[in-house]
Amino acid sequence: MAKATRKQALGRGLSALLKDPDNDIKSAEDKNADKLVGHIVELELDSIEVNPFQPRTSFNEESLRELASSIRELGVIQPITVRKLDFNKYQLVSGERRFRASKLVGLKTIPAYIRIANDQESLEMALVENIQRQDLDPIEISLSYQRLIDEINLTQEQLSERIGKNRSTIANYLRLLKLDPIIQTGMRDGFLSMGHGRALINIEDTQKQLDIYEKIIAKSLSVRETEQLVRELNSGGKEGQPAKKASTSVPKTYKKGIKEFSEYLGAKVDVKVTKKGSGKLTIPFSSEADFERLKKLIRGES
């Protein structure tokens, strides 16, 4: 109990320090900047603005009310993280749900860790922390990955190392952004899963994507049933009816290799084998940039 009281007193002392205009801390080199690092500071909620880099764009109201009820009873247990913008002005880096719930309860202050970061560092911190901690939908994760690649100038390989995910996993998420916006919205609203989306991305015709999307919703199709529909469509069969069986199936000895090719390249590799044992390997690509990416992977370039 004494330890908690001491920490709260320290937080109040730092709060007073931050409100001193003559000693405003603007960079890590400023006087007293070291006193902020690793300490919890009580900040006024009105002095904090939301993060424009936040990957989450929707918040479940019921979940927020439950969190608000917990905060009302126990307080904010885990501090939020903010970055300093100006005198008595801060921006959220992480903890927007706690920030919103605290406002619902009517709190005036919230415990926070203060970071001094530029826009790029703030973007990276917000995206990486939210990817790791929050239950984002597949499209929000995909958009976060794409922003890290585009705005932080990371390669898929570097992003893989930064967030601890396989490159093939990242590639599969990024491919979801090629789906029709209506289907992406369906995934964000929870009408279909990432598995459904990964099946639909193998259909090049947008209208046919949407036709099967409507069937998934209308008939509550499972991922496996959706994959079957897509296979039938791509092999020339009518939707909802079995396609004609191919004259020659792929031998079992090839299947593991096909899976490894697909995971490494981040693309659904197709193999056709003749009765004589010769065959053809097909690697699809969606754009010139995707073609260049595949070319570098095949050459073994980073």
* Torsion angles phi and psi, residue 85, rounded to 5: -100, -45
CA 219, CA 104: separation in Å to the nearest integer?
A: 39
Residues in the chain, total: 302
Any catalytic annotation for residue 66?
Answer: no
The 3 state secondary structure assigned to 121-156 is HHHHHHHHHHHHHCCCCHHHHHHHHHHHHHHCCCCH
* Paired tokens of 298: 């095949």
Catalytic pick from 42, 96, 124, 140?
96
Sequence-distant (≥ 6) Cβ neighbours of residue 297 within 8 angstroms: 264, 265
Compute the half-sphere exposure of residue 15: CA atoms within 13 Å on the CB side of its CA: 17
For the annotated catalytic residues, the residue numbers are 96
